[in-house]
Structure 1
Amino acid sequence: MAHKYIWWKTPQEATRQPERIIAQVMDIGNYDDVQRLVAMVGEKSLRRVIINAEAGQFSERSWHYWHYRLGLAAPGRVPDMPKRSRQ
């Protein structure tokens, strides 16, 4: 999946950051690829990725979906998306 979802890097470069690949598939993946991802890495890995997400990795829609899907938030209680810090 690396070549499809991290198209700006070679697959070898992309696989050095598996969490980035997981986040990309979670954010923009099609249904089949998401199902394949869940089967490959498990929901525990998906939870870890979204809990440690960086600003800009998820759209608002994906952010809400995955918090509900993974049981990380009750309806109406999704945490704010990560924000870039100004230094």
Structure 2
Amino acid sequence: MVQVNREILAPLASKYVWWKTPEEALAMPERIIAQVMDIGDYADVQALASQVGDDVLREVLIHAEAGQFNPRSWAYWHYRLGLSSIDHVPALPVRKFA
């Protein structure tokens, strides 16, 4: 679990995790960060990146769950965070049924 100041994520919680109360969303900081990384507007993405840093963003991306990122965002963040080179982006996470 990543450690992020709740004050940083509070304004993003209701905007990007609209199906939960802000308090419920803040209990899952990785989910808020992933949502902003996936569907955030430019200003929110830039603010989040500068406030939490690339290491936190990498952790969220590395531990992403199936369905959290669309293919375009997945590729962008792998390039942006130096986790892959061109044409070597790992496959999106998939759900596994036991």
- TM-score tier (shorter): over 0.9
What does the per-residue CA deviation read over 1:8-52, in whole Å, with 9 as the maximum and x for residues that have no partner? Answer: 111111000000000000000000000110111111000000000
- Structure 2 distance, partners of 1:52, 1:28, is 18
Say whether residues 1:24 and 2:35 are aligned partners: yes
Matched residues, number: 87
| TM-score (norm: length of structure 1) | 0.98
The 5-angstrom pairing of residues 1-80 of structure 1 reads 1-80=12-91
Runs of 4+ aligned structure 1 residues displaced above 6 Å come to none
Gaps in structure 2 of 5+ consecutive residues = 1-11
Pairwise CA RMSD: 0.5
- Structure 2 distance, partners of 1:64, 1:53, is 13
| TM-score (norm: length of structure 2) | 0.87
- Structure 2 distance, partners of 1:65, 1:24, is 14
